[in-house]
Structure 1
Amino acid sequence: MIDIHSHILPFMDDGAADVEAALAMAQDAHNDGISVVVATPHHANGVYMNPAQEIEAAVKALNAKLQEAGNPLQVLPGQEIRLYGDLLDDLERGQLLTLAGSRYILLEMPSSRVPRNMEETCHELIIQGFVPVIAHPERNAEIAADPSRLVKLIELGALGQLTAQSIAGVFGSKLQKLSLELCRRQAVHVIASDAHDHVNRPFGLSEAYGVVKRELGAEAFDFFLHNSRSIIANDEVFRANPAQSNNKLHRLFGFFSRKG
């Protein structure tokens, strides 16, 4: 499995507190069946500032530690970027990172609302050749109250990223129900851990994928697996989730392995 959203880098944000914590998270990821993790420290969220060069250096250092420890997990660079006024300018200046050097860029909204300039920012990014990936939209209060707010962003060309613990029911049945509903509305395209540690906010991707297979079917399981791989490879993702459809995609997904 591939995880495109994690807080595994030490000393960067509210994720791994130190190198030992990062290595414990990496072992948790490996045990969960994850082969590649994109490190996405918070950036410009009002608390943390983690520019591109510092993240790249930290990723290199952590991969060296993993190699010493004999853990085959590969860590790739990224950021979880809070929407802010200078985002487009900073992206042009090379201060921001996409996911694993791809055209996919992980954006975070405040938990309480959808920013007024969210649609405009997504539109500008898409014009420039980027694909906004909206982090954990199921945990946004306005989207929870009105999922069409997310659907509008998806129609612009953005992607939705669901948190593993949300769909697994760890955050409660209400959030799990909303997560499944967003899947059925074609509003989410990738599942990621948003892991912060190996105890309270672990990776848990295998559990989430188990719920997807049980509740939405094997085709949806393959859909999410394929899209996480496609993002780090900078390939095209599938946008039509087969959770409720009965069309050619069902046959198409048969070509993909159902193993993580």
Structure 2
Amino acid sequence: MLDLHSHVLPGLDDGAASAEEAVAIARAACADGVRVLAATPHVRSDYPTTASQLDAGLRALPPLPIDVVRGGEVSLEVAAALPPDDLAPFAIAGSRYLLVEPPYTGLPLNAGTTLFLLRLAGFVPIIAHPERNPDVQADPSRLRELVEAGALAQLTAGSLTGRRGATAQRTARVLLQEGLAHLVAGDAHRPLDRSATMSRGLAAVGDEALAEWLGRSVPAAILADEDIPPRPATGRTRRRRRVLAWRTPA
């Protein structure tokens, strides 16, 4: 598994507070089967992480039993304000993919515009944990508009298992069913509880091929800075294809 969202760098945000906690996060992820972990500290008004702080944090990491790549979790507000050259250091593993965090209070009216401008600048925005956003919970079609405009969506493993609450779990399932989710991540701020690990989250998907796509194939393409592979046909997708074939005149 490849986990492209974590707060493993100590002292930069509300994640690991020390090198010891960073090691604990990495060891727990490794024990769960994760082989690559993206360090994605918050980049927002309350945690204004800079590129130099990110570099220093990566250099200061003690030896870890897992590969750690650079990244950032950039708020929509900051993504709208910073020029592309200032955003590039926070792209995942130096790729075109940028993890973007929506506010917890809802989606701002300019969310679509911000993501569109990121696309114009050469980035592929990845929307972090949309299933925990109240506007998406109330109306998943709000996310569809953003995905159809070229964004990807990353679910949190703990949402799929119910660790993040029933509403987040229900919304995550709807987003999966509607084809609006592209990868799963741990979003670890501390060593993940067993009920919120990547392996548990992917198991909760209930479809082996889809889980492989969400936890390995898509993250691998992102790390390689390649286009993501096509989504595998799930049971729902196969049923819809059979219906469409039946309705198509000979």
Q: TM-score normalized by structure 1? A: 0.85
Q: Is residue 243 of structure 2 the alignment partner of residue 246 of structure 1? A: no
Structure 2 residue corresponding to 1:66, chosen from 22, 46, 63: 63
Residue 135 of structure 2 corresponds to residue 121 of structure 1: no
Query: Residue by residue, what CA displacement relative to the aligned partner does 1:38-75 show, whole Å, maximum 9, x if unpaired?
Result: 0000012x21011112112211221xx125xxx2x011
- The farther-off stretch of 225-234 and 194-203 is 194-203
Q: Confirm or deny: 8 A CA contact 2:93 2:223 kept in the other structure.
A: yes
Distance in 1, Cα, partners of 2:126 & 2:115: 9
**Whole-angstrom CA distance in 2 between matches of 1:21 and 1:116:** 38
Q: Answer whether contact 2:5 2:40 (CA < 8 A) is retained.
A: yes
1:1-260 superposed matches below 5 A = 1-44=1-44, 46-62=45-61, 65-66=62-63, 71=65, 73-84=66-77, 87=80, 89-93=82-86, 96-198=89-191, 204-212=197-205, 214=206, 217-224=207-214, 225-238=216-229, 240=231, 242-243=233-234, 244-246=236-238
Q: Compared with structure 1, are the counterparts of its residues 218 and 124 closer, same or farther at alpha carbon in structure 2 (3 Å cutoff)?
A: same
Distance 1:205 1:16 in 2: 18
Amino acid aligned to 1:155? E
Q: Would you say how many aligned residue pairs link Structure 1 and Structure 2?
A: 238
SS in 2 for 1:245: helix
Q: 1:51/1:90 Cα in 2 relative to 1: closer, same or farther (>3 Å)?
A: farther
What secondary structure sits across from 1:106 in the alignment?
strand
For 2:104 and 2:57, the matched residues in 1 are separated by 27
SS of the aligned residue for 1:116 comes to: coil
TM-fit CA distance, 1:203: 6.3
Residue 258 of structure 1 corresponds to: none
Match of 1:254 in 2: none
State the distance in 1 between where 2:52 and 2:116 align: 26
Partner of 1:235, secondary structure, is coil
Which deviates more from structure 2 when the two are superposed, residues 194-203 or residues 18-27? 194-203
Q: For 1:86 and 1:75, locate their aligned partners in 2 and report how far apart those are by CA, in whole Å.
A: 23
1:38, 1:242 → 2: CA distance?
A: 28
2:112 is paired with a residue whose SS is helix
Q: Is the 8 A contact 2:194 2:200 kept in 1?
A: no
In structure 2, the partner of 1:257 is: none
The CA deviation at 1:35 is: 0.8
1: CA distance between counterparts of 2:224 and 2:88?
22
Deviations 1:202-253 (A, max 9, x none): 96101111111x2xx1221122120011111111113545332129xxxxxx
Matches of 1:20 and 1:89, distance apart in 2: 33
User: How much has 1:86 moved relative to structure 2?
Assistant: 6.4
Normalized against structure 2, the TM-score is what? 0.88
Aligned residues: CA RMSD: 2.1
Q: Secondary structure at the match of 1:121?
A: helix
Alignment gaps of 5+ in structure 1: 248-260
CA contact (8 A) 2:24 2:191 kept: yes
Tell me the CA shift for residue 198 of structure 1. Answer: 1.3
Distance 2:208 2:180 in 1: 18
Q: Aligned with 1:12: secondary structure?
A: coil
Deviation per residue, 1:153-197 (Å, 9 max, x gap): 000000000000000111233321211110111111000011000
Q: Is the 8 A contact 2:9 2:57 kept in 1?
A: yes
Listed as ranges, the gaps of 5+ residues in structure 2 are 240-250
